[in-house]
Amino acid sequence: MGTPFKLYYDRRLAELLADKLTTAGYQSFDRERFIVSIDRGVEPLELKARVDLIAETLAEILPGDYVEASAILHRTLGPKLEGEKGMFDTGYWLYPIGRFIERYGLGHFELSMTLIAELTQRFTGEFAVRPFIETSPEHALEWFERWTRHESVHVRRLASEGLRPRLPWAKRLRAFERNPASVFDILDMLKDDPSRFVQTSVGNNLNDHSKDHPAWTLAWIGERMDGITPARQWIFRHGLRTMRKAEDPRAVNLLEELKTGRGGAKQ
């Protein structure tokens, strides 16, 4: 996209959302009010504030009952992405729906997590899921564990990306920054995932933790070197890139071992 990303969230997006809500069977909302409210307020705003405005306006025009509103939004999502990419190219218009779930869905945990799993197969759920992790981390981790085994590559990616403590554009997960043990348990389930899309997220997650817990990250990787798979090799290299750039000798030595694949690589 050559256009600044924030400019996609304007009157045109309001019109697009209104069309999709109508197609989804929501005939009774005030289309003109929805579009005009966004058009009048969006101009001076930056990206996140624009998305917030659209989410707030959705809350005003959708039914006040979250269960009913979420059913309408579910029908609005449209077809799933066919490949591993395209979420910000073709699914960008879903960002306000993710923000709606994030802001208004905490009182309906199971329903919202189900909707986030659907959303991430068209756009991404990595932002929407953060408040649910902070509010009920143990309950959320049960969902993330199930997501590691999901048939959709997008949902498996969410199992890692949603738990990144330093996810760009997102609030930091301070509890997992302090103690990443639960996150590492999830990454352990994804360390041999065949999808490079998922592998990249797992590597990025490890790289995040290497900044706060370098010794812990190195030890975790070192314990998983025997019988290493090609997927794991790639993830570990990607996960140690910040330490490698800093020429940390511990990471350099471990990366040298990765070249030979201690224990033999499974093909």
Q: Greater confidence, 3 or 167?
A: 167
Q: Look at residue 266 and tell me whether its pLDDT is greater than 70.
A: no
Taken in order 73, 74, 76, 80, is the CA torsion positive or negative? positive
Q: How many CB atoms lie within 10 A of CB 149?
A: 11
In the chain, the percentage of residues whose pLDDT exceeds 70 is 96
DSSP, collapsed to helix, strand or coil, labels residue 265 as coil
Q: Look at residue 1 and tell me whether its pLDDT is greater than 60.
A: no
Q: How many CB atoms lie within 10 A of CB 28?
A: 7
Considering the chain, what is the average pLDDT of its residues? 93
CB 119 within 8 A of CB 77: yes
Q: Look at residue 265 and tell me whether its pLDDT is greater than 50.
A: no
12-16, 221-225, 257-261, range with the lowest pLDDT? 257-261
Please give the structure tokens belonging to residue 82: 């066919």
pLDDT score for 225: 93
pLDDT score for 122: 95
pLDDT, tens digit (0-9, with 9 covering 90-100), for 102-136: 999 999 999 999 999 999 999 999 999 999 999 99
- How distant is the alpha carbon of residue 169 from its chain centre? 11
Question: What Å distances lie between residue 220 and 49, 169, 217, 225, 253, CA to CA?
Answer: 39, 27, 5, 9, 15
pLDDT score for 137: 95
Q: Look at residue 262 and tell me whether its pLDDT is greater than 70.
A: no
Q: Would you place residue 261 in the very low, low, confident or very high pLDDT band (cuts 50, 70, 90)?
A: low
Task: Give per-residue burial for 189-223: e unless 16+ CB within 10 Å, then b.
Answer: bbbbbebebbbbbbbbbbbbbbeebbeebbebbee
pLDDT, tens digit (0-9, with 9 covering 90-100), for 215-232: 999 999 999 999 899 999
pLDDT score for 181: 96
pTM to 2 decimal places: 0.93
Angstrom distance (rounded) from CA 101 to CA 112: 6
CB 198 within 8 A of CB 155: no
Give helix 137-147 / helix 153-161 axis angle, nearest 10°. Answer: 150
pLDDT score for 260: 73
pLDDT, tens digit (0-9, with 9 covering 90-100), for 38-68: 999 999 999 999 999 999 999 999 999 999 9
Taken in order 24, 126, 49, 176, is the CA torsion positive or negative? positive
CB 130 within 8 A of CB 137: no
Read out DSSP for 198-209? Answer: HHHHHHHHHHHH
Angstrom distance (rounded) from CA 174 to CA 208: 12
Determine whether 95 is exposed, middle or buried from the number of CB atoms within 10 Å of its CB (0-12, 13-18, 19+): buried
